[in-house]
Amino acid sequence: MNRAFNLSWGLSWRGGLPLLLCILLLLSACAGNSVPGSASQGDPAASPDSGNHQPASGSSDSSNEEEKTIFKFTDSAGKEHELPVPLDNVVVINRNTAEAIQVLGAQDGVIATGDTTLTNNPYLDYQDLPDVGKTGEVNLELILSLKPQAVFAYTNRPDSTLEEKLEPAGIAVIRMNNYLPEQMEEEYRLLGKLFNKEDRAKQFILWKEDIEQQLAERVSEIPEEEKKSVMALSIGFLNSDGGYRVFPSQSLEGKPGVGEGYATLLAGGIDAADLQWDPSESSTTIMVDEEYVLSRNPDVLTLHGTWLGGYETENTDQHREVIENINNISSVPQLKAGKDNELYIFHTNFIGSDKRYIGVLQLAKYLYPERFADLDADQYLRQYFEQWLDVPYQGVWHYSAKEDG
């Protein structure tokens, strides 16, 4: 009985083998075709981050295109936005934001710049991109033709015409500054989320905070009686006609003032100018007369401008000529700072803008060389250019008339 059963089963198996093979091949093909559909989409590991990120409707599920999510956020001007992120097609008419984007390694997402980015930040990777103009002369037609996802601008410029013209076309206007100390880190975090560079943003903030912490610890140890009085001046105005325009360290209601002036306090100095800046004013300096400066008689003068020094400057010859001219046409030689040759020139980008945390360290070294002898601001600046911007380090960013003799 068992023998008959085994025999008939064996014959049936051999006869039906080709048919069985065909069925198995068919089933295998069907199973293979079903994988990219429901199975991968239902995999929790492929889901976007939770929190304020939500799946974007209509987003592509192609393996060659990064999946986008809807991100809700508020910019530095207090405006709320909802945008698919990461962004990869933006126009930047804020040179500080343009630099921050490159720090994060997201510069490939920029399709055009403005706000003198190409002139004042020549080391950035945007030289071959369209220039949409200065903040007061923005080429709106060019921006519209580029069809960006968003445009980055300062919180106070250009005016609301930017939103009126671009938002009806579906172009978001994101306002941030990327140079004010009280906003800078939060803006870096926001850029990290917008460009999917959150880890890079965290690493940069930690690096920056380490420099600031070293400075703050040393400054806290300086006795009040040893602190030097400092007046921060516009070097262009002083060099042209011997006049004085001051960068105040405080604004109205005692808040931090203009970057060049506020750097005095961060470096452990005392602001020799008892002035307050009104942020509603277009100018960041306050004009004072010669008698006022002589009466304040600062120990140190810091001189600031964008036209002297910078990335493409190869030597300090022009700095030396400017100091000589200032001594000839102004009352600076009558001041204690002039007599002691405590005159220091800073490029605005180094101490009054997005590199302030490094520039302030250098100012502290000038004010209190013995207390900061072991800290090298230039080495940190080199790291910033080579490791964060990924460009060669070069240029003249500060100058000491005292050290030049």
For the segment 213-261, what is each residue's pLDDT rounded down to a tens digit?
999 999 999 999 999 999 999 999 999 999 999 999 999 888 888 889 9
- What is the per-residue pLDDT for 104? 98
Residues 6+ apart with CB under 8 A from 352: 247, 258, 259, 260, 263, 304, 346, 359
Helix (H) or strand (E) run with residue 241 in it? helix 235-241
Gap between the Cα atoms of 182 and 128, Å rounded = 33
CATH 3.40.50.1980 is the classification of domain 64-196:
yes
All CATH 3.40.50.1980 domain ranges of the chain, comma separated, are 64-196, 224-404
* Bridge partner list, 400: 344
Please give the model's pTM, rounded to 2 decimal places.
0.81
Return the closest-CA partner of residue 277 out of 266, 286, 288, 264: 286
* Bridge partner list, 343: 301
- What is the per-residue pLDDT for 39? 32
Gap between the Cα atoms of 275 and 258, Å rounded = 11
- What is the per-residue pLDDT for 65? 56
Q: What is the mean pLDDT of the chain?
A: 86
- What is the per-residue pLDDT for 181? 85
pLDDT at 24 over 70: no
Which of the pair, 141 or 252, is modelled with greater confidence?
Answer: 141
The CATH homologous superfamily to which domain 224-404 belongs is Nitrogenase molybdenum iron protein domain (3.40.50.1980)
* Cβ(343)–Cβ(402) below 8 Å: yes
- What is the per-residue pLDDT for 50? 32
How would residue 180 be classed by pLDDT, with cut points 50, 70 and 90? confident
